[in-house]
Chain A
Amino acid sequence: LAKTTQPISMDSYEGQEVNITCSHNNIATNDYITWYQQFPSQGPRFIIQGYKTKVTNEVASLFIPADRKSSTLSLPRVSLSDTAVYYCLVGAPSGGYNKLIFGAGTRLAVHP
């Protein structure tokens, strides 16, 4: 399973766009990139998954360059409720059926 590296923490203010970058230099050809969000005392929640280029859903965008050695989770116009830990994971797309190895994650604090 490819190792991922993310910033330990980030700070932002309400209404700003937040970009969290994840490095995964050893990503395998068949690996997908998946991001999860975790609030205190709750289980993680799926945010977005992608293989290459750009993926967008109702909560975030995921940018993946051609070499796929990194990816960027973009949260548009964050609010206080986006304060959470964000995890970048790399592996098979069938995330629910494979064990997931979590890195340290990025602790995002959104300020008023």
Chain B
Amino acid sequence: GAVVSQHPSWVICKSGTSVKIECRSLDFQATTMFWYRQFPKQSLMLMATSNEGSKATYEQGVEKDKFLINHASLTLSTLTVTSAHPEDSSFYICSSGAGRDTEAFFGQGTRLTVV
């Protein structure tokens, strides 16, 4: 199946700093990618839809100025958590379609810990 890769797999940062998470489609072009957040023992929560060449669409309750999304190419979308705080500690996951009409392909996720 198609491959979606996230980097880094985990990151620890100090409170108040910014962290960038990359999501790459390795063997296909992704005009649309999705970003999810998952807290321990909870389900995935959709944060935003990332569109290549245009502004991201954020779900209700997600602060667009805090979670900056850039989708500058057909193979890369980035999520930047600005001025991170401990409550932003979570597991962040991206996904995309890959020319097939069945399934979504997910990255391996990024574990963010803000201390």
User: How many residues on the A side are at the interface (Cβ–Cβ under 8 A)?
Assistant: 22
**Which of B14-22, B66-74, B97-105 lies at the interface?**
B97-105
> Is there an interface contact between B106 and A99, defined as CB atoms closer than 8 Å?
no
> Is there an interface contact between A96 and B109, defined as CB atoms closer than 8 Å?
no
> Known contacts A46-B105, A96-B104, A97-B97; can you find 10 more A-B pairs with CB under 8 A?
A43-B93, A43-B106, A44-B104, A49-B102, A93-B101, A93-B102, A96-B100, A96-B103, A102-B46, A105-B43
Produce 1/0 per residue, B60-82, CB < 8 A to A: 00000000000000000000000
Chain A residue with Cβ nearest B9: A41
> Is there an interface contact between A94 and B97, defined as CB atoms closer than 8 Å?
yes
Chain A residue with Cβ nearest B42: A104
- Within the assembled complex, what's the spacing in Å between the Cα atoms of A64 and B43? 24
Binding site for B on A (CB under 8 A): 34, 36, 41-46, 49, 87, 93-97, 99-105
Total cross-chain contacts (CB, 8 A): 69
List 30 A-B pairs, Cβ < 8 Å.
A34-B102, A36-B104, A41-B91, A41-B109, A42-B108, A42-B109, A43-B4, A43-B6, A43-B94, A43-B106, A43-B108, A43-B109, A44-B106, A46-B102, A46-B103, A49-B103, A87-B43, A94-B101, A95-B102, A96-B98, A96-B102, A96-B104, A97-B97, A99-B46, A100-B44, A100-B46, A100-B95, A100-B104, A102-B43, A102-B45
Chain A interface, DSSP helix/strand/loop, else mixed: loop
Task: Determine the chain B residues whose CB is within 8 A of the CB of A94 once the complex forms.
Answer: 97, 101-102
- Within the assembled complex, what's the spacing in Å between the Cα atoms of A65 and B94? 33
